[in-house]
Amino acid sequence: MSPHNIVDGCKLVAVLTLWLGPCAGVKHTGGANAAERREHTTHSSVGLGEVVLVIQSQRNSYHARRAGQRKVEILQQAAKLGQGAPVVLLLHELSEFDGDWSILPALPHLSATYGQSASWFFFIEEETRVTLSALLHVLNRYPVQYEWFLGKRLHDKEASIIHHYAFSEDPCSFGYPDPAAGWALSTPLLHRLAARVQYEPLKSDFSIDLKHEIALFIWEEGNGPKLTAVPEFCTEARDDDCASTFTTYLPNCGDPVSEKDVFVAVKTCAKFHSERVPVVKATWEKDAAFLEYYSDVTDASIPTINLGVPNTERGHCGKTFAILRRFLSQAVPRADWLLIVDDDTLVSLPRLRRLLRCYNPKEAVSLGEKYGYGLVQNGYSYTTGGGGLLCLCRMVLSRVAVSRLVSSGCGCFSDDAPDDMVLGRCFTSMGVPITHSPLFHQARPDDYSETLISSQQAVSFHKHWNIDPVAVYKHWLQDTHPRDEL
């Protein structure tokens, strides 16, 4: 194709995509363009007292403690600088409503309480370290009277199911922030978003991927700002001046829990015995001390256990609650933790055991990838099973959580009810927090930003569609040199 045939930037993107593949050679900055950023480099003079740092904390005791330690570190750093102190908030303490984790429900409170004195709101995770002097240097590049959405830019390499195939014609064109590096909103933007949340219904009742949904809400179909990429918002420390860095996705809380502390329940059915179960056996089954397959038929060759609950096409609530009752019975070895997975889930049990060391098995713990339903309307959170109404669960529950749930009387309204959502509704009514870990994934590696998952030590992925699941397991989940075996 002759260069003379390329008449605009959109066609150039299309040509580069054909020649080099998606995203190749195309650099998206979002927000203000480079000339505008140069123009605004000296227009602001923000002090620490005008910055609100929001730590995206969780109610679980381990996470609340880590977030509290991060807050202390930030305030100690501010005291040494002697330039005033930022406001440092723990997200889970803003209100009694657990749905504040999805950020949007918390915006009206942040706007009304802190918006009159603050110029910037900076959101970080509990393992995000912040260098306050460098953060001020970054924020002062952007005039505070305008709307700014700043962060480390992620994008989809290809249209992704977890983002409802948004921007399928050019997935690279839309950027969303890496929460581990932190992301910032100028106060004028936060005020407008807070007003919108209160009068404008969201396009979906479900909260699935927080970072992408926030970017979409802010972008407002082109009426709001795109994400402006900030190189100083980092995950890995570099030689230049990072304003933020991320410590770890898989914290070191000591020796991993014993293999015998984890009981694994694999949900399957007759039609997948020959297709999916062999993958489990070829990959991660060997790392389980206690594992049972639950099906609608008994198959001695696997073996499977028939719980007396018929297989359902939509939802598996009846089967899941039967598994919960069996876990508490004398029919299986006693263990502190119950992992429930579908038969097309890939899991690293050694990494899971390392992660579980951080949690107290004497507490009611529900751990996994956190979703929400109707959160702006005081809905509830749940540990996703993925797969929509098929509810293919990947969740970890402490024995205490299972015992409290079973004895509560809360349960399925039908065998084919969505089990993950029913469990979430039950735990919410019981006051048991749903704890999120980004190491659990409801989809395939290809459905996530490569930049993001390459920096993780993932615990799980899901679905065998259009992939070699054994190869995926070996590449993303199998440790070459296991360092966590007891």
Return d(Cα 363, Cα 366) in angstroms, integer.
Answer: 10
Q: What is the pTM of this model?
A: 0.87
User: Under DSSP, is residue 5 helix (H, G, I), strand (E, B) or coil?
Assistant: helix
pLDDT recorded at residue 452: 86
By mean pLDDT, which of 273-282, 294-303, 314-323, 460-469 is the weakest? 314-323
User: Under DSSP, is residue 289 helix (H, G, I), strand (E, B) or coil?
Assistant: coil
Query: What are the φ/ψ torsions at residue 36 (nearest 5 degrees)?
Result: -65, -40
Return d(Cα 353, Cα 361) in angstroms, integer.
Answer: 12
Return d(Cα 186, Cα 144) in angstroms, integer.
Answer: 6
Return d(Cα 23, Cα 277) in angstroms, integer.
Answer: 36
Answer whether 157's CB lies under 8 Å from 449's CB. yes
Tell me what the pLDDT averaged over the chain comes to. 85
Mean pLDDT over 9-15 rounds to 36
Return d(Cα 48, Cα 52) in angstroms, integer.
Answer: 8
Residue (of 210, 205, 220, 191) closest to 375 by Cα position: 205
pLDDT recorded at residue 485: 38
Packed helices 61-81 and 132-139: angle between N→C axes, nearest 10 degrees: 80
The neighbouring-strand residues paired with 266 are 293, 341
Return d(Cα 266, Cα 323) in angstroms, integer.
Answer: 10
The pLDDT confidence band at residue 454, using thresholds 50, 70 and 90, is confident
Answer whether 71's CB lies under 8 Å from 88's CB. yes
Q: How far is CA 419 from the centre of its chain?
A: 20
Domain ranges of the chain: 27-246, 259-476
> Do 27-246 and 259-476 agree at the fold level?
yes
pLDDT surpassing 60 at residue 486: no
Sign of CA dihedral 233, 237, 243, 249: positive
Answer whether 23's CB lies under 8 Å from 94's CB. no
By mean pLDDT, which of 56-60, 201-205, 349-353 is the weakest? 201-205
User: Under DSSP, is residue 312 helix (H, G, I), strand (E, B) or coil?
Assistant: coil
pLDDT recorded at residue 109: 96
**Beta carbons within 8 Å of 431's beta carbon, 6+ residues apart:** none
User: Under DSSP, is residue 269 helix (H, G, I), strand (E, B) or coil?
Assistant: coil
Sign of CA dihedral 126, 127, 131, 136: negative
The pLDDT confidence band at residue 406, using thresholds 50, 70 and 90, is very high
By mean pLDDT, which of 161-175, 224-238, 332-346, 443-457 is the weakest? 161-175
Q: Which amino acid is at 96?
A: E
Whole-angstrom CA distances from 459 to 203, 248, 252, 274 are 31, 14, 15, 25
Q: ∠ CA(417), CA(421), CA(426), 5° rounding?
A: 100
pLDDT surpassing 80 at residue 16: no
- The fraction of the chain above a pLDDT of 90, given in percent, is 63
Return d(Cα 185, Cα 224) in angstroms, integer.
Answer: 12
Mean pLDDT over 94-120 rounds to 92
Q: Where do we find the tokens 């390392």?
A: 354
Answer whether 27's CB lies under 8 Å from 153's CB. no
Query: Looking at per-residue confidence, does 168 or 328 come out higher?
Result: 328
Answer whether 457's CB lies under 8 Å from 439's CB. yes
What is the architecture, at CATH level 2, of domain 259-476? Alpha-Beta Complex (3.90)
Whole-angstrom CA distances from 105 to 53, 257, 262, 464 are 17, 36, 35, 35
Return d(Cα 414, Cα 472) in angstroms, integer.
Answer: 35
pLDDT tens digits for 368-398? 988 767 767 667 666 665 433 333 447 899 9
The pLDDT confidence band at residue 237, using thresholds 50, 70 and 90, is confident
Query: Looking at per-residue confidence, does 324 or 5 come out higher?
Result: 324
> Of the CATH numbers 3.40.50, 2.60.40, 1.10.3470, 3.90.550, which one belongs to the domain with range 27-246?
3.90.550
The pLDDT confidence band at residue 442, using thresholds 50, 70 and 90, is confident
Answer whether 393's CB lies under 8 Å from 420's CB. yes
pLDDT recorded at residue 313: 66
The pLDDT confidence band at residue 315, using thresholds 50, 70 and 90, is low
The pLDDT confidence band at residue 14, using thresholds 50, 70 and 90, is very low
Q: How far is CA 449 from the centre of its chain?
A: 12
Tokens of 461: 């992925």
pLDDT tens digits for 160-201? 777 776 777 877 878 899 999 999 999 999 999 999 998 877
DSSP 217: H
pLDDT surpassing 50 at residue 249: yes
